[in-house]
Structure 1
Amino acid sequence: MPAFFLESKDNPKIKHLRGLIEQNSFRKKQRQTVLEGTHLTLAWLAKNRKIHSIFTTEVAMSHPDLEKINELYDGYVFVISESLYKDLSTLGTSLACLAIIDLPSSTEALNFKEDTLILDNIQDPGNVGTLLRSAAAAGIEQVVCTKGSASIWSPRVLRAGMGAHFSLQTYENVELEDLLGKFTIPVYVTSSHQSESLYTKNLRKQCVWILGNEGQGVSEFALKHAEAVSIPQPGGQESLNVAVAGSICFFEMVRQRI
């Protein structure tokens, strides 16, 4: 695995890397994104996926995780200073590893008869990543994001997803109005108002889950075209975090099915 030392923050390769980390528009233009940390990089390589280049530090090069990556990756490694890596990194304390990959695109059409998660204008990267992780763990393989949701393949969402992305079919910038009428299975939307308890529903067969914006909840269109369910909260809180609420719904579905 050939290694090259880069010293200047103005090096074109460093500028390219920084653009992918910081700018959604640049990621879209280049059709690339960045995996940060050895966990994501190893998970990606385990799926036999291609990496264009890896950026690390001289200290990290001797770490066992980097040695594992070396066994699976035969491309270029760019070694940069600790200070420059800290300036680029969004994790701070992780082992130095930034891997550039192509933005994946869904190779399959959306299946309107299979379990599906729809994120309706969910904007927090941590929430999106956590929901993808919970969905994958619960066996949901299709995730749809409407316009306004956080970019699924941004470094921050990838970090929160902890590799869940790699087992999912994902679809972005979808209009809800173009989608809901095509499903032939029950469609549920979480709402804390005027809805039936989640625990009264039969979730043994395939279904769709719609989860909405952190502050405003799901859209009026979703409420009109889906069956609203609520999670009982005897403690009296106004609402749950959307990632927590979604995870509860997914695993109530799993509980009923097993």
Structure 2
Amino acid sequence: MATIFLESKDNPKIKHLRGLIEQNTYRKKQGQTVLEGTHLCLAWLHESKKINSIFTTERALEHPDFESILAKYTGAVFVISESLYKDLSTLGTTLACLAIIDLPSSSQALQFDQDTLILENVQDPGNVGTLLRSAAAAGIDQIVCTKGSASLWSPRVLRAGMGAHFSLHTFENIELESILERFEIPVYVTSSHRSASLYSKDLRKACVWILGNEGQGVSDYALAHAEAVTIPQPGGQESLNVAIAGSVCFFEMVRQRV
């Protein structure tokens, strides 16, 4: 393992790292993204995936969690100051570890007879990452995102997903109109206004879930081409957070199947 100390924030490697952290267009152009924190890095390495380079601090290098990473990684480790790391980090409180990886490319075509989660213009990275985590836990491994949704492989979405990405087949920037009528299984949307109870549906067979924008919900097109379901709320709240609503739906599906 080569340990290289970098001091200047204007170093080309630091500029490259910052671009990947902050700019979606730069990530797409470079075909790379950043994993932040030792948990994500270890999960990535556990899948026998390659890390291109790691950035950390002297203090973090001595931590047992970092030693676990170095046991599986043989590339260069770039050591930067604590202040520079805090300036780059989106977390701020975890063990210093930023790893550059290549953006994965899907090796599988979209399957129209499998459990699928479609995110339609879901914009908050935390919500997107949480939904991927819940979907993976519920056994849904095909994820479709329409244009306008948060980038699945942004550092913030990756952080919220806690490694769920690594076992999923993901498709981004998909036009809903180009795929929805091709599904051979029931398609459900969540809606609090005109729909039947989630608990009245038979979810024992494969199905599609469409979850919409945090403020606007799903589109008229989605409502017209899917069955709308609502989650009963005896407490009288107007709606649930989209990540909570999706998780409730996924695990009602699991309950019925188990």
Provide TM-score, normalisation by structure 2.
1.00
Letter in 1 for 2:203: L
1:194: how far off? 1.2
What is the rounded CA distance, in whole Å, between the counterparts of 2:179 and 2:240 in structure 1?
26
Q: Which residue is equivalent to 1:147?
A: 147
1:139: how far off? 0.3
Query: SS of the counterpart of 1:193?
Result: coil
Letter in 1 for 2:114: E
- For residues 59-103 of structure 1, what are the alpha-carbon distances to aligned partners after superposition, in whole Å with 9 as ceiling and x for unaligned? 000100110001100111000000000000000010000000001
Letter in 1 for 2:216: Q
1:18 is aligned to 2:18: yes
- For residues 1-20 of structure 1, what are the alpha-carbon distances to aligned partners after superposition, in whole Å with 9 as ceiling and x for unaligned? 11100000000000000000
Q: Which residue is equivalent to 1:36?
A: 36
Structure 1 stretches of 4+ with a deviation exceeding 6 A read none
Letter in 2 for 1:257: R
Where do 1:62-73 residues align within 5 Å?
A: 62-73=62-73
Identity %, equivalent residues: 79
Query: SS of the counterpart of 1:99?
Result: strand
1:233 is aligned to 2:202: no
Query: SS of the counterpart of 1:72?
Result: coil
Where do 1:73-92 residues align within 5 Å?
A: 73-92=73-92
What is the rounded CA distance, in whole Å, between the counterparts of 2:55 and 2:98 in structure 1?
5
Letter in 2 for 1:125: P
What is the rounded CA distance, in whole Å, between the counterparts of 2:41 and 2:137 in structure 1?
19
Where do 1:1-258 residues align within 5 Å?
A: 1-258=1-258
Across the aligned residues of Structure 1 and Structure 2, the Cα RMSD in angstroms comes to 0.4
Query: SS of the counterpart of 1:203?
Result: coil
What is the rounded CA distance, in whole Å, between the counterparts of 1:84 and 1:202 in structure 2?
53
What is the rounded CA distance, in whole Å, between the counterparts of 1:61 and 1:257 in structure 2?
45
1:105: how far off? 1.4
- For residues 191-223 of structure 1, what are the alpha-carbon distances to aligned partners after superposition, in whole Å with 9 as ceiling and x for unaligned? 001100000000000000000000000000000
Q: Gaps (5+ residues) in structure 1?
A: none
Query: SS of the counterpart of 2:211?
Result: strand
What is the rounded CA distance, in whole Å, between the counterparts of 1:165 and 1:25 in structure 2?
20
What is the rounded CA distance, in whole Å, between the counterparts of 1:251 and 1:210 in structure 2?
15
What is the rounded CA distance, in whole Å, between the counterparts of 2:169 and 2:245 in structure 1?
22
Provide TM-score, normalisation by structure 1.
1.00
